[in-house]
């Protein structure tokens, strides 16, 4: 069944909200909770679980992108309509922004909460969790987003057994976060980065350009590589 654009955009909104709220919420609320914090591994798993469950819930309607870099990569690979790219990106950013607002409304209920702690925003140099440079952030965001697209495109090929793609995609996002949280808090998703940065302001907005440019570049490269090398050619 082909859904109209309005319904697909609604699915993208709720799916992106779920990803940003679940993933960033785990970082803001649960990661450093005094004795029972889930840590980096828990945050990585939370991001993976949100995309896994979100793709199962909303993927049949919208394709389950929840990420401007994914939408761009799919368009480059010939698996998504270019005319729908901008509407998808706009609604993805809206979903992430509303998620950040909901998370902020919850977080301020804690007396120790402060936006100065980062609010799960992405950053480099002095705003990197482990002090990584801008170049490190550019490289890791580009490489990991590119491979994320390759996993998405490969796992959704018609030759792959149906119904298993969300598992591969969710595990890939978990792995991506396990690798890169110390570098820049892991973006690979400009919408997720934008929602948090708009609340933090200041340095987070100044550095936001990187978390658009590098993931979009990685998504473009992943889409091109799949289309040129791995996509099944007409016989």
Question: What's the pLDDT tens digit per position in 51-89?
Answer: 999 999 999 999 999 999 999 999 999 999 999 999 999
Higher-confidence residue of 5 and 37: namely 5
Dihedral in degrees, nearest 10, Cα atoms 131, 134, 138, 144: 0
> Which residue has 């340095």 as its token pair?
203
The CA distance from 104 to 109, in Å, is 9
Distances (CA, A) of 182 to 101, 123, 162: 25, 10, 35
The CA distance from 42 to 40, in Å, is 5
Q: pLDDT band at 49, cuts 50/70/90? A: very high
Q: How far is CA 131 from the centre of its chain?
A: 22
DSSP assignment of the chain, as one string? -PPPHHHHHHHHHHHHHHHHHHHHHIIIIITT-TTT--HHHHHHHHHHHHHHHHHHHHHHHH-S--SHHHHHHHHHTTSS-GGGHHHHHHHHHHHHHHHHHHHHHHHTTSTT--GGG-TT----GGGSTT---HHHHHHHHHHHHHHHHHHHHHHTSTTSPTT-HHHHHHHHHHHHHHHHHHHHS--S-HHHHHHHHHHH-THHHHTTTHHHHHHHHHHHHHHHHIIIIISPPP-
> Which residue has 């302001």 as its token pair?
201
pLDDT number for residue 213:
98
Contact 218, 140 (CB under 8 A): no
Question: What's the pLDDT tens digit per position in 128-180?
Answer: 999 999 999 999 999 999 999 999 999 999 888 889 999 999 999 999 999 99
Closest CA to 149 of 189, 191, 92, 195: 189
pLDDT number for residue 235:
55
pLDDT at 233 over 80: no
pLDDT number for residue 119:
97
pLDDT at 234 over 70: no
Question: What's the pLDDT tens digit per position in 102-128?
Answer: 999 999 999 999 999 999 999 999 999
Closest CA to 79 of 164, 19, 158: 158
Instruction: Give the number of other CB atoms < 10 A from CB of residue 189.
Output: 32
pLDDT number for residue 34:
67
Domain covering 5-227 in this structure, CATH number: 1.20.1080.10
Q: For 28-37, 130-139, 185-194, 213-222, which range has the lowest pLDDT when averaged over its residues? A: 28-37
Terminal-to-terminal C-alpha distance of the chain: 27
Question: What's the pLDDT tens digit per position in 169-208?
Answer: 999 999 999 999 999 999 999 999 999 999 999 999 999 9
């Amino acid at each position: 069944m082909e859904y109209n654009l309005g319904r697909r955009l609604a699915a993208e909104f709720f799916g992106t909200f779920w990803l940003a709220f679940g993933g960033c919420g785990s970082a803001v609320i649960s990661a450093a909770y005094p004795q029972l914090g889930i840590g980096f591994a828990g945050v990585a798993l939370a991001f993976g679980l949100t995309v896994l469950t979100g793709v199962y819930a909303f993927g049949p309607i919208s394709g389950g992108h929840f990420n401007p870099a994914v939408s761009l990569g799919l368009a480059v690979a010939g698996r998504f309509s270019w005319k729908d790219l901008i509407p998808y990106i706009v609604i993805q950013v809206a979903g992430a922004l509303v998620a950040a607002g909901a998370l902020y409304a919850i977080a301020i209920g804690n007396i120790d909460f402060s936006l100065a702690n980062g609010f799960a925003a992405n950053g480099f140099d002095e705003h990197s969790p482990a002090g990584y440079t801008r170049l490190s952030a550019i490289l890791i965001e580009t490489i990991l987003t590119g491979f994320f697209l390759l996993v998405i495109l490969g796992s959704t090929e018609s030759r792959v057994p149906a119904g298993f793609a969300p598992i591969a995609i969710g595990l890939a996002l978990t792995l991506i976060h396990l690798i890169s949280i110390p570098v820049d808090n892991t973006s690979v998703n400009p919408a997720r980065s934008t929602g948090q940065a708009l609340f933090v302001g200041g340095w987070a907005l100044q550095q936001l350009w990187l978390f658009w440019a590098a993931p979009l570049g990685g998504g473009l490269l992943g889409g091109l590589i799949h289309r040129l090398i791995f996509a099944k050619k007409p016989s």
